[in-house]
């Protein structure tokens, strides 16, 4: 099937083929603390501005601020969703940007920041949230129990 072959070659040349990992075990760097502090911080809305660790609908969600991701900040290195669940550092206009690492049951939830300061996640990629915590909770609802897989993108451009 020449057309299929041609397209595959085209996509391969563009680095598009096989950039999303379809299999594999999650990056199982479960955080050291085995005892989730249920609800404590996430409950107060405002919410999780400095990080959060709560059980929401039976799933543990954790978010920590990280240093702006160096690889994302690299000029021309547009990896919207970084490979390690850390988002941020993507504002190339020179503003200091914050980074976040968010997990659901220890698995990375990929976040991306919008220019207006809101967030989108890989689970809810067509809507925006005011905070990483709000994005994490929405993802829990929409995953309906599913466990996240690590995501590999990039190299498309």
Interface residues toward another protein, by CB under 8 A: 1, 3-4, 7-8, 10-11, 13-14, 16-20, 22, 78-81, 90-93, 110, 112, 114-116, 122-128, 142-149, 151, 153-154, 156-157
Nearest-approach distance from CB 54 to another protein, in angstroms: 20
Residue 39's φ and ψ, nearest 5 degrees, are: 65, -30
Nearest-approach distance from CB 69 to another protein, in angstroms: 13
Query: Rounded CA gap, 61 and 141, in Å?
Result: 12
Among 74, 77, 95, 104, residue whose Cα is nearest residue 85: 104
CB distance 26 to 147 below 8 Å: yes
**35 vs 116, beta carbon nearer another protein:** 116
**33 vs 126, beta carbon nearer another protein:** 126
**51 vs 153, beta carbon nearer another protein:** 153
CB distance 142 to 126 below 8 Å: no
Nearest-approach distance from CB 148 to another protein, in angstroms: 5
Among 111, 108, 112, residue whose Cα is nearest residue 91: 112
Nearest-approach distance from CB 63 to another protein, in angstroms: 18
């Amino acid at each position: 099937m020449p057309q299929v072959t041609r397209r595959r070659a085209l996509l391969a040349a563009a680095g598009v083929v096989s950039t999303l990992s379809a299999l594999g075990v999650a990056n199982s760097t479960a955080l050291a603390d085995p005892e989730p502090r249920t609800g404590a911080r996430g409950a107060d809305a405002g919410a999780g501005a400095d990080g959060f660790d709560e059980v929401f609908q039976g799933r543990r969600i954790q978010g920590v601020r990280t240093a702006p991701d160096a690889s994302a900040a690299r000029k021309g290195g547009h990896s919207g969703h970084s490979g390690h669940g850390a988002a941020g550092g993507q504002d190339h206009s020179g503003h200091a940007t914050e980074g976040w690492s968010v997990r659901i049951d220890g698995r990375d939830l990929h976040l991306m920041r919008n220019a207006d300061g809101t967030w989108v996640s890989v689970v809810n990629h067509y809507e925006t949230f005011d905070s990483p915590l709000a994005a994490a909770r929405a993802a829990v609802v929409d995953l309906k129990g599913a466990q996240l897989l690590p995501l590999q993108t990039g190299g498309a451009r």
